Amino acid sequence: MKLLHTADWHVGKTIKGLSRIDEHTRVLGDIVRIADTERVDAVIIAGDIYETASPGPDAEALVLRTLLDLRDTGARVFVIAGNHDNAARFDAVRPVFAAIDVDIMGTPLRPSDGGLLEFTTSDGTGVRIARLPFCSQRSVLRAQQLLGLDAAALAATYDERIRQLLQSLTEGFADDAVNLVVSHCMVTGAHLGGGERSAQTYLDYWVGAQAFPAHANYVALGHLHRTQSVNGPAPAWYSGSPIQVDFGERDEPNHALVVTAAPGHPSVVDHVEVAGARRLRTIRGTLDELASVGVADEYLRVVVTDPPRAGLADRARELLGEHVVEVRLEASVPTPAAGPSREQRAGRSPHELFAEFLGEQQIDDRRLGALFARLLDEVER
């Protein structure tokens, strides 16, 4: 059987207040195209469909349309909630999605209630898929109680609890089927992409790769934004985000993963690059250096290294145009000596003190002195 693995769409994400819905429309359209071209039997979306737990109507409309388009390729569609998603909301609409052959899961379920699903592909291959949505520290206790684990299990660490949940969910795996695990979690040894929510990437949320059973043909992971494999007893991969979520992320291609699997055989994983997103790029230099930078269809974070003066940010935007979404000033300024004491300041005007401060900061801009004088005059009046 063949499946498409994707995750971490973060639909509704903005960049410094600018909507990225047009980018997401192109990116998700390309994922649908890949699923159709590859004639996959299943599409697995491993969490963080949305950027926030309360997505806007344009984000929801795009996701719903994409799920329907993926279903129309003939593939079975499976979705689990990530830490950015509203798990309770996913569960509330689950019956509606089931009616259109899209299986969506917000919170963990017993294997018999849907935590472990079985289906057969068009060529007769049996598939068993165990699914574990994101579990917070609190919700993992509820999940253990739901699955009937004993009191000793409830006293374990987060890592041990997730292992126990996965063991319970995968006990029904069979040697004559393709056995799949889907989870949204942080696996030991994996590398951050740079745009993940830090509260759920602390050490308290790490899960060892040994948690995934060796008899799984493939483990589809979500949460980290960089495409990567995880060393463990079973083939385990993060598909990564199909769009650069934040400037902190590495400037690498974004992918969906197309996986070919058969009972008793190792899975074959192909990286398929996803198109449609603008790149996020950080450039650094003086205004003269920035003037010679070539700009493509991308968002820019600009770090200006000229000595500080009024208007630097505006000038950087003039040079690089509408692509600039953030300007930072990063001049090399020596650490000033201790400021003048109260006695040294006595009898000196605010204008003199401000001029001394500008000198310490190596700021040579007469407009700032004039602006300070005007503001001071308004305050005194």
Total structural domains within the chain = 3
In this structure, the answer to whether residues 376 and 248 fall within a common structural domain is no
Cα–Cα distance, 45 to 47 (Å, whole number): 6
Residues 195 and 309 in one domain: no
pLDDT for the residue 141: 62
pLDDT value of residue 155: 46
Given 254, 273, 292, which residue is the final one in a domain? 273
Residue 261 and residue 192 in one domain: yes
Q: What is the dihedral sign for C-alpha 62, 68, 74, 79? A: positive
pLDDT at position 323: 82
- pTM for this predicted structure: 0.81
Query: 287 and 320 in one domain?
Result: yes
Do residues 287 and 240 share a domain? no
Copy the structure tokens of residue 34. 């890949």
Q: Cα(177)–Cα(330) distance, rounded to whole angstroms?
A: 58
263 & 153 share domain: yes
Last residue of one domain, picked from the residues 253, 273, 293: 273
CATH number at residue 199: 3.60.21.10
Q: Going from the first residue of the chain to its last (381 residues), give the mean pLDDT of each consecutive group of 10, the final group possibly shorter.
A: 97 91 97 98 97 95 97 97 95 92 94 94 95 84 59 63 91 95 92 60 75 95 94 94 85 92 93 92 88 84 85 86 85 56 66 79 73 80 74
How many other β-carbons are positioned within 10 Å of the β-carbon of residue 369? 14
* CB distance 129 to 116 below 8 Å: yes
Token duo for residue 49: 């469909």
pLDDT value of residue 197 = 56
Distances (CA, A) of 56 to 11, 26, 29, 51, 146: 9, 18, 19, 10, 32
Whether residue 268 sits in one domain with residue 301: no
Please report, for residues 67, 80, 124, 192, 218, the alpha-carbon distance to residue 132 in angstroms, rounded to integers and kept in the order given: 20, 7, 26, 20, 14
- Angle formed at CA 68 by CA 63 and CA 73, multiple of 5 degrees: 125
Question: Longest C-alpha distance within the chain, in Å?
Answer: 92
Find how far residue 19's CA is from the centre of its chain: 16
Same domain for 222 and 150, yes or no, is yes
One domain for residues 340 and 243: no
Domain that holds residue 362: 336-381
Are 302 and 342 part of one and the same domain? no
Same domain, 99 and 206: yes
Q: Is 264 in the same domain as 282?
A: no
State the CB neighbour count (10 A cutoff) for residue 2.
20
CA-derived radius of gyration, the chain:
27
Cα(12)–Cα(340) distance, integer angstroms: 50
